[in-house]
Amino acid sequence: MSRVRILGIGSPSGDDQAGWLAVDTLLACGMQAHREIIVKKLDRPGASLIPLLENASWVILIDAMQSDGQAGRIQRFSQKDWPDYNQGLSSHGFGVLAALSLAQAMASLPARLDLYGIETGSTAHGDQPGIEVRSAARRLACAVAAELNVSLSF
């Protein structure tokens, strides 16, 4: 089983595709050819994210984020940045933080987990992702490849 996983999380709504775009770049440039690396696009996985974290040594998670920053800004979150999850969990609205918090409580997090957010602009349903997010996703894909010591063939 692969020990390294790159997971891009998103939905079809505008810039919310940021994680998918990063993964698309990696796939288009041959990242999947490295048998020890799994690269996957996930559509709002909820609790299904947790099994994908298990039995991995290194997981790179890329998702869209919304804050007050400029669209396309990339931020890396370390575990100490995660806020305490103190809401109730439900079948609906079970987001990435809920899944990571649940995995952490079960000691199911991989030894290394890199969580990246790409700041979004419009996430309206039916919109195409904006140029800033497309460019950020490509930049992040290159950075991830460099970190994994994999050369991408553009």
Partner 1 sequence: MTERRSVAIHVPVLARVEGEGALDLRIEDGDIAELRLRIFEPPRFFEKFLEGRHYTEIPDMVARICGICPVAYQVTAAQALEDLFGVELDPWARAMRRVFYCGEWIQSHSLHIHLLAAPDFFGCGNAIELARIAPDEVRRGLRIQGLGNELMDLFGARSVHPVGVRIGGFHGAPSLARIRDMRDKLRAALPEAEALIRWAAAIPVPQDDQVFVSVATRHPTDYAIERGDIGASDGLRIGADAFDAHFIERHEPHSTALFSTYHQQPYLVGPLARLNLNHEYLPGAIRALLADIGFVLPSRNLFHSLLARAVEIWLALYEALRLLDGYRVPDSPWVPATPRAGVAIGCTEAPRGLLWHRYEMDDAGCVVNARIVPPTSQNQARIEEDLRLSLLNFGLDHPDDALRLHCEKVIRNYDPCISCATHFLRLNVER
Residues that bind partner 1 (CB under 8 A): 43-44, 47-48, 50-51, 85-94, 98, 101-102, 105-108
Which stretch of DSSP H or E encloses residue 75?
A: strand 74-77
Q: How near is the Cβ of 136 to partner 1 at its closest, in Å? A: 27
Q: How near is the Cβ of 44 to partner 1 at its closest, in Å? A: 8
Q: How near is the Cβ of 123 to partner 1 at its closest, in Å? A: 19
Looking at beta carbons only, is 47 or 131 nearer to partner 1? 47
Looking at beta carbons only, is 101 or 123 nearer to partner 1? 101
Q: How near is the Cβ of 95 to partner 1 at its closest, in Å? A: 12
Which stretch of DSSP H or E encloses residue 141?
A: helix 131-147
Handedness of CA 148, 17, 8, 81 (dihedral sign): positive
- Give the DSSP letter of residue 45: -
How many whole angstroms separate alpha carbon 52 and alpha carbon 127?
29
How many whole angstroms separate alpha carbon 43 and alpha carbon 11?
5
Looking at beta carbons only, is 32 or 108 nearer to partner 1? 108
Instruction: Collapse the DSSP code of 72 into the 3-class scheme (helix H, G, I; strand E, B; otherwise coil) and give the result.
Output: coil
Looking at beta carbons only, is 86 or 153 nearer to partner 1? 86
